[in-house]
Each structure stands twice: as C-alpha cells, then as structure tokens.
Amino acid sequence: MIPTPLRQFTNNSDSVSVEGQSVGQALNNLCSLHAPLRRHLYADDGKLRSFVNVYVNDEDIRYLQKEATAISDKDVVSIIPSIAGGLE
C-alpha cells in the first residue's frame, strides 16, 4: 500500500504488487520499479528513514525482524508516513 504523498512516484497507484521473500526485498523491488521512491524511503546510508513506518499487515516491522521480516503472497506491506493536517 502506497500512501498519498508518495503516489506521485507510482503513477498514482495506491497499491503495487511486488515479489519478495522479505520486507526489504519487496521494498527494494518496489524502488526498482519506481526509482524516484528510493530516496524518499531510504537515507544515504541505506537505512529506512525514521519518518517512514512500514507495517506487515497490522504489525510494525520495528517490532518484528525489521526489513528481514519474512512475508508471503497474502501479506500486505504498508508504508505509513506521518501526516500533519488538521487545522487549515
């Protein structure tokens, strides 16, 4: 699942199907398909940016095996960025 602010990099798709045995592989494949996404998700040192949270189904990968978290066909990987709006 691709969040609204990043959809400009995925031809406005809200979800993209990618292969991968782990979360890291799936994200990597996603970035290969949509190259400009990479620097929005990863810092220069190759780590996921701290304002980008990644979930497998309803669980935060920080509390699983992070990017090594294994996934199968049925799992939904969601990128959940922070949003600020409310007042204006």
Partner 1 sequence: MNAPELSSEEIRRYGRHLIMPEVGMDGQKKLKAASVLLIGAGGLGSPLGLYLAAAGVGRIGIVDFDVVDYSNLQRQIIHSTKDVGRPKLASAKERIEGLNPFVKVETYEMHLNSGNALELFSKYDVVVDGTDNFPTRYLVNDACVLTGKPNVYGSIFRFEGQASVFATKDGPCYRCLYPEPPPPGLVPSCAEGGVLGILPGIIGTIQANETVKLIIGRGEPLIGRLLLFDAMKMKFRELKLRRNPDCPVCGEHRTITGLIDYEAFCGVQPGWDAYAREQQYEISVDDLKKRLDNKEDLFILDVREPQEYQICNLNGYLIPLRDLPKRINELDTAKEIIVHCKVGGRSRQAVEFMKQAGFRKIKNLVGGIDEWAERIDPAMPRY
> Interface with partner 1 by CB under 8 A: which residues?
3-5, 8, 39-40, 43-44, 49-51, 53, 55, 58-60, 62-63, 78, 80-88
Region of residue 12 (phi > 0: left; psi between -120 and 50: alpha; otherwise: beta): left
Return d(Cα 55, Cα 23) in angstroms, integer.
9
Tokens, residue 82: 């922070």
Q: Using the minimum distance from each CB to partner 1, give the nearer residue, 19 or 40.
A: 40
Minimum distance of partner 1 from residue 1's CB (angstroms): 9
Minimum distance of partner 1 from residue 68's CB (angstroms): 18
Q: Using the minimum distance from each CB to partner 1, give the nearer residue, 19 or 64.
A: 64
Q: Using the minimum distance from each CB to partner 1, give the nearer residue, 19 or 45.
A: 45
Q: What is the dihedral of CA 58, 16, 33, 84, to 10 degrees?
A: -60
